[in-house]
């Protein structure tokens, strides 16, 4: 008879395998520990409306893990171009309970991840997760993204806002000239893309994602600042 923890671990391993992701035992354990933290603190911090552990696994963990290979590819490209040799920085906007920011920090230890949220207790939860999961590359930031001006190489979001609001509000945090936005979306957001200001930003890739155990459309919209005229 499997305990619930063993069943979750087995589902996570099979999802990671289906995604073709290579993760160490320590990374798998940290993902499970993060899931346990989310469950434990959800009632106090109101981190997510998803309450069942198995639903949290598919809707949050595997959903976020689906973006890890694309992120790793982009990071390798940047490093190949000689960008970020001193450490790459990623900002996860409206990170809430740390999705996808904490998952990125676990899976990409070479990337320094900041999770920003306007709600103080959510930023505090991320700080707590960084300590509990022993992730020196993770930090929670309590702020409105509009106020951030430090440069980040990648600015991500999931379930945050329209593409237009996302890029407008986080414009000051995108490093010039190579910084990009990584927006996790459901089905191909044609209308939101059409509403973007072409003089300001350019979508350079819409990348479909397959989430194991989730029969739903997902994609990453990759955006960069438009080249200065
Ligand atoms: C729907 S939640 C998404 C949470 C998480 N990304 C996820 O996928 O589960 C949106 C989050 O954005 C935060 N938020 C809203 N406006 C913001 C802003 N201007 N700057 C930073 N965070 C913001 C909210 O507090 C909330 O936690």
Instruction: Locate the ligand 1 atom nearest the alpha carbon of residue 95 and give its number.
Output: 6
Q: Residue 170 C-alpha to ligand 1 middle, in angstroms?
A: 13
Exposed e or buried b per residue across 148-170, where buried means at least 16 C-beta atoms within 10 angstroms of its C-beta: beeebbbbbbbebbebbebbbbb
Q: Residue 179 C-alpha to ligand 1 middle, in angstroms?
A: 21
Tens-place pLDDT, residues 194-217:
999 999 999 999 999 999 998 899
> Quick check: pTM over 0.95?
yes
Q: ipTM of this predicted complex?
A: 0.99
Tokens 């609001």 sit on residue: 165
Instruction: Locate the ligand 1 atom nearest the alpha carbon of residue 157 and give its number.
Output: 6
Among 47, 28, 20, 30, residue whose Cα is nearest residue 209: 20
Mutation test of ligand 1: which of 42, 129, 160 has the most ligand atoms closer than 8 Å to its C-beta? 160
> Does residue 152 have its Cβ closer than 6 Å to ligand 1?
no
Among 20, 5, 117, residue whose Cα is nearest residue 62: 20
Q: What is the predicted pLDDT for the residue at 52? A: 86
Helices (H), the chain: 4-18, 25-45, 53-56, 63-65, 68-80, 101-107, 120-132, 163-170, 190-194
Q: What is the predicted pLDDT for the residue at 24? A: 97
* CB distance 223 to 202 below 8 Å: yes
* Tens place of pLDDT per residue across the chain (229 aa): 468 889 999 999 999 999 999 999 999 999 999 999 999 998 888 888 888 888 899 999 999 999 999 999 999 999 999 998 788 999 999 999 999 999 999 999 999 999 999 999 999 999 999 999 999 999 999 999 999 999 999 999 999 999 999 999 999 999 999 999 999 999 999 999 999 999 999 999 999 999 999 889 999 999 999 975 4
The answer for residues whose C-beta is within 8 angstroms of residue 213's C-beta and 6 or more apart is: 11, 15, 57, 58, 62
Tens-place pLDDT, residues 40-78:
998 888 888 888 888 899 999 999 999 999 999 999 999
Q: Residue 137 C-alpha to ligand 1 middle, in angstroms?
A: 21
What domains can be seen in the chain, in order of their start residue?
A: 64-225 (3.40.50.150)
Instruction: Locate the ligand 1 atom nearest the alpha carbon of residue 92 and give its number.
Output: 6
How far is 34 from 130, CA to CA, in rounded Å?
10
Q: What is the predicted pLDDT for the residue at 228? A: 59
Q: What is the predicted pLDDT for the residue at 118? A: 98
Per-residue tokens: 133: 């999961």
Per-residue tokens: 26: 């320590």
> Does residue 192 have its Cβ closer than 6 Å to ligand 1?
no
Q: Residue 5 C-alpha to ligand 1 middle, in angstroms?
A: 29
N-term to C-term CA, the chain: 64
């Amino acid at each position: 008879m499997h305990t619930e923890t063993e069943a979750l671990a087995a589902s996570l391993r099979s999802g990671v395998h289906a995604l073709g992701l290579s993760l160490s035992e320590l990374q798998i354990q940290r993902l499970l520990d993060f899931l346990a933290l989310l469950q434990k603190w959800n009632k106090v911090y109101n981190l997510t409306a998803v309450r069942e552990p198995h639903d949290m696994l598919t809707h949050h963990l595997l959903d976020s893990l689906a973006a890890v290979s694309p992120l790793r590819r982009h990071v390798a490209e940047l490093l190949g171009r000689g960008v970020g040799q001193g450490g790459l920085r990623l900002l996860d906007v409206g990170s809430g309970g740390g999705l996808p920011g904490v998952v990125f920090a676990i899976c990409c230890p070479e990337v320094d991840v900041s999770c920003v949220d306007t709600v103080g207790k959510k930023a505090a939860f991320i700080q707590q997760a960084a300590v509990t999961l022993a992730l020196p590359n993770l930090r929670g930031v309590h702020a409105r993204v509009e106020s951030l001006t430090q440069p980040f190489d990648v600015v991500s979001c999931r379930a945050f806002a329209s593409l237009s609001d996302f890029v407008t509000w986080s414009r000051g945090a995108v490093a010039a000239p190579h910084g990009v936005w990584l927006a996790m979306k459901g089905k191909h957001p044609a209308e939101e893309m059409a509403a973007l200001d072409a003089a300001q930003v350019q979508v350079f890739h819409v990348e479909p994602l397959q989430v194991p155990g989730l029969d739903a459309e997902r994609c990453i919209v990759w955006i960069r600042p438009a080249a200065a005229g």
